[in-house]
């Protein structure tokens, strides 16, 4: 894997971002506190916030719709809509990819809203505009290309989150004119779909075969079975004292609870909510001093 190091300008930017966010405890937790990786494009920052509310790690970003902490401890994230990087805890960039310049995209309008480090070390990247899923190796060489079915292509709305499944297929949230969650095989054939009717943000295939969906501007979370029947949901105003707004990332946690990222909901509401299967709120996170009303990315770090 080719090694890249931060320039002095980027290091300086990171220091400035740290100064702007501050290191005092400004996060309000209800329930048992969690360590979280959060990304907010209004604050222009991606950060790890520990259980005490202190920022352990942070870096500047311009736009963000996906991020993950890898098994090696590094963070895989995007700095803007086309550049994806892997960064160590001490701010060394050890891998990067520019979707605007590589693998045939020169001169094209393209945005990336989802990516994933795969088990074999390659990286899945989803390109809105070109409407394709690609997999690349450590040097950025194209290994696989999967076409997506998008009637009216738009680099900002073709897709949101996408994940490769254990069976080798891809689960795709189409935000734009499709407004649908689709499962594609490796040839680009649709083998399952669920029409959301809203600008959907995320979909996660569960161990029981159901699909958990963050319904975007539908202001809700649903779990549907293989036949598309809703078997569980959290509605816009169902949680006491909480209004769901633009529901972005959702995740079924190891303890059986569900994480909901509640973006654009305003300072009266938490940005992150964890509910148990009975829809009891067991944890919330709210930090509107260091982060803002455009926090679409959050992952709990165990």
The answer as to whether 3 is a domain residue is no
Q: What is the structure's pLDDT at 26?
A: 61
The Cα angle at residue 116 between residues 177 and 228, in degrees rounded to 5: 45
What does pLDDT average to over the chain? Answer: 92
The answer as to whether 65 is a domain residue is yes
List the chain residues with pLDDT less than 70. Answer: 1-26
**Cβ atoms of 172 and 180 closer than 8 Å:** no
Domain count within the chain: 1
Structural domain boundaries, residue 108: 8-16+26-301
The answer as to whether 144 is a domain residue is yes
Q: What is the structure's pLDDT at 302?
A: 81
The answer as to whether 276 is a domain residue is yes
The answer as to whether 1 is a domain residue is no
C-alpha to C-alpha distance for 246 and 272, rounded to whole angstroms: 12
The answer as to whether 90 is a domain residue is yes
C-alpha to C-alpha distance for 270 and 297, rounded to whole angstroms: 14
The answer as to whether 68 is a domain residue is yes
Q: What is the structure's pLDDT at 28?
A: 86
Q: What is the structure's pLDDT at 4?
A: 39
C-alpha to C-alpha distance for 201 and 248, rounded to whole angstroms: 5
User: Could you report how far apart the first and last alpha carbons of the chain are, in Å?
Assistant: 27
The answer as to whether 148 is a domain residue is yes
CA dihedral 217, 222, 224, 230 (to 10 degrees): -100
* Residue 266 belongs to domain with CATH number: 2.130.10.10
Q: What is the structure's pLDDT at 260?
A: 98
């Amino acid at each position: 894997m080719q090694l890249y190091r931060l320039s002095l300008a980027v290091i300086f930017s990171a220091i400035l971002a740290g100064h702007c966010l501050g290191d005092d405890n400004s996060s309000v937790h209800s329930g048992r506190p969690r360590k979280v990786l959060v990304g907010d494009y209004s604050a222009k920052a991606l950060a790890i916030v520990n259980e005490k509310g202190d920022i352990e790690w942070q870096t500047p970003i311009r736009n963000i719709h996906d991020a993950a902490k890898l098994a090696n401890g590094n963070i895989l994230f995007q700095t803007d809509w086309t550049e994806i990087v892997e960064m160590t805890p001490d701010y060394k960039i050890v891998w990067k990819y520019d979707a605007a310049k590589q693998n045939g995209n020169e001169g094209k309008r393209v945005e990336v809203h989802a990516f994933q480090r795969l088990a074999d070390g390659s990286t899945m990247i989803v390109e809105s505009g070109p409407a394709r899923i690609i997999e690349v190796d450590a040097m950025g060489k194209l290994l696989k290309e999967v076409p997506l079915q998008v009637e009216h292509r738009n680099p900002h709305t073709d897709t949101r989150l996408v994940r490769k499944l254990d069976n080798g297929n891809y689960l795709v949230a189409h935000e734009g004119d499709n407004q649908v969650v689709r499962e594609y095989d490796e040839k680009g054939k649709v083998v399952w779909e669920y029409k959301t009717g809203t600008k959907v943000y995320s979909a996660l295939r569960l161990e029981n075969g159901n699909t958990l969906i963050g319904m975007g501007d539908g202001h809700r979370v649903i779990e549907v079975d293989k036949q598309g029947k809703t078997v569980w949901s959290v509605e816009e105003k169902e949680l006491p004292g909480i209004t769901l707004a633009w529901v972005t990332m959702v995740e079924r946690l190891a303890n059986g609870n569900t994480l909901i990222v509640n973006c654009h909901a305003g300072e009266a509401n938490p940005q992150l909510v964890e509910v148990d299967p009975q829809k009891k709120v067991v944890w919330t996170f709210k930090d509107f001093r260091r982060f803002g009303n455009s926090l679409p990315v959050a992952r709990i770090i165990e």
